[in-house]
Amino acid sequence: MSENGSGSEIVDVAYGEGWDAGRGAVLGPISSEAAAARDAAGEQYAVVLRQADHPAVVVAHVAWARHYLGLWVYDAQRRRFLEADLRRLEAERVFLTFKRAWAYASDRTPEFAGDAGRVTVELRPDGRGVEIVEPQGDKGGSRHTAADVPEEQRWFPAPGFGQWEGLFAPLGIDVPDRCELREDADAAVGGEDAEPNRRPPEGPPVLVAHVYDSDVVAVEAESPKGPRWECVLSPQMAMDSYGALGQVIEWNEAALEPALAWASEAGREPDAEAVKAVLSAEANPFAEDLVRELARALGFCFARRRGQERAPLAQQ
């Protein structure tokens, strides 16, 4: 390990648009002053962390205006073997929404090889999550289980500019007791203009409703700002006739707050009580009516056909 005179481990820090794994160099290098200005303005930039005698490279893609922090880790063969996506859902904290690790069979296995084993974890702020294990990558089967990730490994302090030691915890990398960050001035010298090789999620919030035989609706929604949320409309029918888990009502209750935040991000003015009513309602008689009720409760308006009556929610 690189050490200074006091025995602290030294980590070189450089800034730019990203990391060029093929050349093993910072992509579109910029000065720390330029990076700090981008950070303050919420604009995108990348942080590259390296140790002189260690082959691994950690790259952080920062875009606070989009509440985004993406982490990539490369090995000695310049392959990405670990990545994580986090969202700044609170002023001082980021939430881990996605993490994936690849296992390469040998040093000659190419990056993202079809038979490279991988483990994917997807998490949500309501405490739920899924772990997907694919021992043979695309060449074999997969196992899906509930993600057993404690709260302290879901939420992390949002790193202030220059406090890059905080990037290691979401990756599961232990930070030495004495770690000194040192700006790599040479990396900021010269270099061609370049575009970032990682963009944060963009576009408007999206909601998709899957209707099953006009009885039940599975709703999935996501937005650039935060993690996805979901619910099941006509939950009792889902449990009685479609084998849904008994926790579906509890999950619907947990979906209320993220649904309201999602609608606000879309520029709507949601009605919290109306959304709550739809999440507990049953189809009467058609589940499609619940989709329209949910959309209205979230603040979206639809024109009715002449003579069409608004379907009431089923009484609980």
Average pLDDT over residues 227-252: 86
pLDDT digits (tens, 9 = 90+) for 63-114: 999 899 999 999 999 999 999 999 998 899 999 999 999 999 999 999 999 9
Q: How far apart are CA 157 and CA 165, in angstroms?
A: 11
Residues 156 and 22 in one domain: yes
In a domain, 303, yes or no: no
Strand 25-27 vs strand 54-63: parallel, antiparallel, or unpaired?
unpaired
pTM confidence score: 0.72
Number of domains the chain is built from: 2
Is the pLDDT at 53 greater than 80? The verdict is no
Q: Starting at the edge strand that comes first in sequence, how are the strands of the sheet with 229-233 ordered?
A: 206-212, 216-222, 229-233
Residues 120 and 150 in one domain: yes
pLDDT bucket at 191, cuts 50 / 70 / 90: low
Domain around 68: 9-188
In a domain, 310, yes or no: no
Residues 106 and 178 in one domain: yes
The reported pLDDT for the residue numbered 7 is 55
Residue length of the chain: 316
Is the pLDDT at 268 greater than 80? The verdict is yes
Residues 50 and 172 in one domain: yes
pLDDT digits (tens, 9 = 90+) for 165-189: 889 999 988 766 666 777 776 655 5
pLDDT digits (tens, 9 = 90+) for 138-164: 888 888 888 899 999 999 999 999 999
In a domain, 312, yes or no: no
Query: With left for phi above 0 and alpha for psi between -120 and 50, is residue 23 left, alpha or beta?
Result: alpha
Q: Please state at what angle helix 248-265 crosses helix 235-242, rounded to 10 degrees.
A: 140
Residues 58 and 136 in one domain: yes
The reported pLDDT for the residue numbered 83 is 95
The reported pLDDT for the residue numbered 2 is 47
